[in-house]
Amino acid sequence: MSDSVNARVYCEIKDSIAHLYFDHPQARNAMTQVMYEQLRAICLELSKNPSVRVAILRGVGGKSFVSGSDIAQFQSFQSGADGVDYERMIDHYLGPLQQLPIPTIAVIDGLAVGGGLAIAALCDFRLATPNAKFGVPIARTLGNTLSPSNIAWLTAHLGVALVKRMLLLAELIPAQELHTQGFIYQLGEPEDLDTMSINLAKQLAALAPITQKASKLIMARVIGHSLPNCDDLITEVYGSADFKEGVTAFLDGRPPHWQGK
């Protein structure tokens, strides 16, 4: 896609706080493969930098945190095996964010859907505007699926009932509901998010870093313990005619016609 040429994830470090930006506003910050690679590389570098105490992640443009993955890449898929490889690739790219030894804050103004919800959930705290929405509407859009690790992580944070609304009903859940539920730490207007995130980052940076590291990584290991192999289901989904129809319809700008095969 032509608007993906300048898409990037970049990092600026100020006063022991790393600021990560998802910069692809033409596509509501949809993640290209290059952006996933950049996110992984940045997180790996931050994990080795003892001077950084907190990371803040946010989208550029004021309309979206991250709106999922760049759909054009799915046009090249030939079989269900491509889907298995893709989901493993996503886990590979997002793993260093999950394993960052420092606290992380996602600042959400607008949409956090699909891969964007996964990235927000991998952060330790989430700040959002009242109009922000969260979900994985793939049952309405692409007809694909998530990896076991992504579903395990979302379920641990949101609960089975809420994740089923996102995955089976393709609901976008408003920030206010997720604030009440505890997933959103604080709500604030767009103009207040910078101050809110810096204040929270300073509060986190004043506490014991080794305790924070152990606490978050123990929780990550508990959530990821003994994940089942679901390659058969992922292969069925990505190898289906429905998935091909979902990608084609999305890129054509029309509703998909599901056939269940």
**Separation of alpha carbons 56 and 26, rounded Å:** 22
Report the half-sphere exposure of 151 (CA within 13 A, side-chain side).
17
Indicate the helix (H) or strand (E) that contains 92: helix 80-98
Mean pLDDT score of the chain, rounded to an integer? 96
- Look at residue 63 and give its three-state secondary structure: coil
Pick from 229, 20, 15, 260: which is nearest to 139 by CA?
260
pLDDT value at residue 4: 72
Residue 21 lies in a domain: yes
Cβ contacts of 193 within 8 Å, gap of 6 or more: 58, 107, 109, 127, 129
Check pLDDT > 90 for residue 149: yes
pLDDT digits (tens, 9 = 90+) for 61-110: 999 999 999 898 899 999 999 999 999 999 999 999 999 999 999 999 99
Give CA–CA dist 61/68, Å, rounded.
15
Tokens of 218: 């123990």
pLDDT at residue number 73? 87
Residue 2 pLDDT grade (very low, low, confident, very high; cuts 50, 70, 90): very low
For the chain, what is the total number of helices (H) and then of strands (E)? 10, 10
- Give the integer Cα–Cα distance in Å for 242 and 126: 34
227's tokens: 């994940």
Give the H or E element holding residue 57.
strand 54-59
Helix, coil or strand: residue 19: strand
* Residue 246 covered by a domain: no
| 195 three-class SS | helix
Percent of the chain whose pLDDT exceeds 90: 96
Give the pLDDT of residue 83.
97
pLDDT tens digits, 177-222 = 999 999 999 999 999 999 999 999 999 999 999 999 999 999 999 9
Is residue 181, in this structure, part of any structural domain at all? yes
235 close to 229: Cβ distance less than 8 angstroms: no
For range 11-20, the mean pLDDT: 98
43 found inside a domain: yes
Whether the predicted pLDDT of 140 surpasses 80:
yes
Rounded to whole angstroms, the Cα distance separating 259 from 170 reads 17
CA distance 69 to 45: 23
Residue numbers of the domain that contains 52: 2-191
Q: What CATH number did the domain enclosing 183 receive?
A: 3.90.226.10
Number of folded domains in the chain? 1
Q: Three-state SS for 212?
A: helix
Classify residue 30: in a domain, yes or no.
yes
Rounded-to-integer distance, Cα 190 and Cα 198, Å? 14
Q: Give domain status of residue 154, yes or no.
A: yes
pLDDT at 1 over 70: no
In a domain, 254, yes or no: no
pLDDT attached to residue 5: 75
pLDDT value of residue 3? 62
Tell whether 127 is covered by a domain: yes
